């Protein structure tokens, strides 16, 4: 496999995908066209407008982008594509659409056979075993929470440390993940913004700018450094 799962598409104050540019040139070596999966629709943006944003970034590194929404036969489009990119937005909407269009399994098979995959935020979330550690609001009801399982873990993108100054009693991210572990025995990668997971073949590493927080059932959460192998 050759995949990159990023916490976010855009760093605070940065431009879309800019901080990942060198990594994406490496990920998509030899590829001149990728298939964009726009179903997560951040802020409700249309599939067409969302694809145009991706197209604009990738033009600068000489890669053409087609939106999966442009194809009548979407299963065929996934099978014929050379590489993929799933953008962020609402994970429930993304997962519902992929299941309803029977695309989850076919996408998974193509990626497991070696086609490059980039996922940001919701698009990274679906690289995990299931979507049960998303931060998103359940605005639609998907037929299943199962995802691509490109890594044997779950991801919590945009991982955020508790803010001791916040005078608010909503649960912290850590509390939510600990609640997840009372119901599931799956390792969760708390992926802070600026970090990503890079899988090449069987090697899985965390890369980026800061430490990554790991949550396992029966163990206190702990931090790992950039470059650490995940097992």
For residue 112, how many other CB atoms are within 10 A of its CB? Answer: 14
Q: Which of residues 25-54 bind a second copy (CB under 8 A)?
A: 41-44
Does 7 participate in catalysis according to the annotation? Answer: no
The answer for 127, left when phi > 0, alpha when psi is -120 to 50, beta otherwise, is alpha
Residue given tokens 């050759």 in the structure block? 2
- Binding status of residue 141 toward a second copy by CB under 8 A: yes
**Contact residue for a second copy among 8, 86, 97, 187 (CB under 8 A):** 8
**Contact residue for a second copy among 1, 10, 69, 75 (CB under 8 A):** 10
Q: Which of residues 112-131 bind a second copy (CB under 8 A)?
A: 131
Q: Among 22, 46, 99, 158, which one carries the catalytic annotation?
A: 158
Token pair belonging to 141 = 């009801």
CB of 95 to a second copy, least distance (A): 10
Report the first-to-last Cα separation within the chain, whole angstroms. Answer: 15
CB of 213 to a second copy, least distance (A): 15
Nearer to a second copy, 6 or 204 (CB): 6
**Contact residue for a second copy among 47, 132, 205, 216 (CB under 8 A):** 132
Nearer to a second copy, 109 or 171 (CB): 171
Does 121 participate in catalysis according to the annotation? Answer: yes
The answer for 96, left when phi > 0, alpha when psi is -120 to 50, beta otherwise, is alpha
Q: Among 72, 136, 144, 161, which one carries the catalytic annotation?
A: 136
User: Which string of x and - marks every residue 173-212 that binds a second copy (by CB under 8 A)?
Assistant: --xxxxxxxxxx--------x-------------------
Nearer to a second copy, 2 or 130 (CB): 130
| Count of residues engaged in binding a second copy, rule: CB under 8 A | 45
Alpha-carbon span 4 to 203, nearest angstrom: 12
Extract long-range pairs of 20-29: CB within 8 Å, 24+ residues apart.
Answer: 20/196, 21/61, 23/196, 23/198, 23/207, 24/61, 24/118, 25/61, 27/2, 27/3, 27/83, 27/116, 27/118, 28/61, 28/63, 28/83, 28/116, 28/118
Q: Most distant CA pair in the chain: distance in Å?
A: 52
What are the catalytic residues? Answer: 121, 136, 158
């Amino acid at each position: 496999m050759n995949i990159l799962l990023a916490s976010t598409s855009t760093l605070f104050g940065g431009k879309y995908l800019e901080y990942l540019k060198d990594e994406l040139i490496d990920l998509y070596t030899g590829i001149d066209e990728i298939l964009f999966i726009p179903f997560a629709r951040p802020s409700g943006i249309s599939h067409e407008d969302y694809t145009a944003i991706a197209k604009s970034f990738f033009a600068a590194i000489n890669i053409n982008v087609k939106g999966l929404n442009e194809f009548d036969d979407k299963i065929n489009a996934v099978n014929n594509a050379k590489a993929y990119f799933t953008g962020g937005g609402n994970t429930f909407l993304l997962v519902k659409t992929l299941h309803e269009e029977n695309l989850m399994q076919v996408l998974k098979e193509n990626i497991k056979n070696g086609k490059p995959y980039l996922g940001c935020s919701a698009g990274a979330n679906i690289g995990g075993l299931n979507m049960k550690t998303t931060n998103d609001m359940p605005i639609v009801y998907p037929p299943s929470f199962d995802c691509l399982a490109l890594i044997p873990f779950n991801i919590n993108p945009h991982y955020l440390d508790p803010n001791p100054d916040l005078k608010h009693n909503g649960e912290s991210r850590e509390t939510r993940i600990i609640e997840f572990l009372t119901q599931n025995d799956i390792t969760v990668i708390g992926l802070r913004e600026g970090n990503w997971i890079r899988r090449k073949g069987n090697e899985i590493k965390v890369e980026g700018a800061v430490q990554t927080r790991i949550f396992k059932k029966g163990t206190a959460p702990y931090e790992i450094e950039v470059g650490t192998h995940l097992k």
